[in-house]
Amino acid sequence: MIEKMDKNSVINILRNNFIRSTKAYSIYLRRKTYYNAKRIYNANEIVYHSLNQLLQYDLTDNELGEIINYQFHLENWFIQFQNKEKKILSIEEEFVFEPFEDNIPFPKNFLEIFDI
């Protein structure tokens, strides 16, 4: 069962972990290793959990659509990450994968809609 928090608290957790994920991504871009990618993964897991928590609130159709698109985007990313993770031999190994052909892009409107 999902713990009920007030909506602003959930958005704050989401915002802070989005910032964490973005920072981890900038580090990853300098050195695309498994351990740098894992930082992104860890932050994105919390983002995903926060998105699920937002689903308990009354949302506009636009907000709901953006949350679902963001979840789909992360689910695709998690699948690719986990698949690639099974094949690594070293934490310093290069860790890069290509998006699916039908990849759902990051919903850029999400940041604006939720003031992140």
Higher pLDDT, 6 or 48: 48
Per-residue tokens: 44: 């994105």
Residue 1 lies in a domain: no
Q: Where is pLDDT greater, at 111 or 13?
A: 13
Confidence of residue 108 (pLDDT cuts 50, 70, 90): confident
Confidence of residue 2 (pLDDT cuts 50, 70, 90): low
Domain annotation covers residue 87: yes
Name the domain count of the chain. 1
Which residue type occupies 110? F
pLDDT > 80? residue 40: yes
Packing angle, helices 34-54 and 7-30, rounded to 10: 160
pLDDT recorded at residue 112: 86
Domain residues for the domain of 85 are 7-113
pLDDT at position 113: 85
Per-residue confidence (pLDDT) for residue 29, from 0 to 100 = 96
Is 40 within the bounds of a domain? yes
CB 110 within 8 A of CB 116: yes
Report if residue 38 sits inside a domain: yes
Least confident of 12-16, 89-93, 108-112: 108-112
Residue 106 lies in a domain: yes
Residue 107, in any domain of the structure? yes
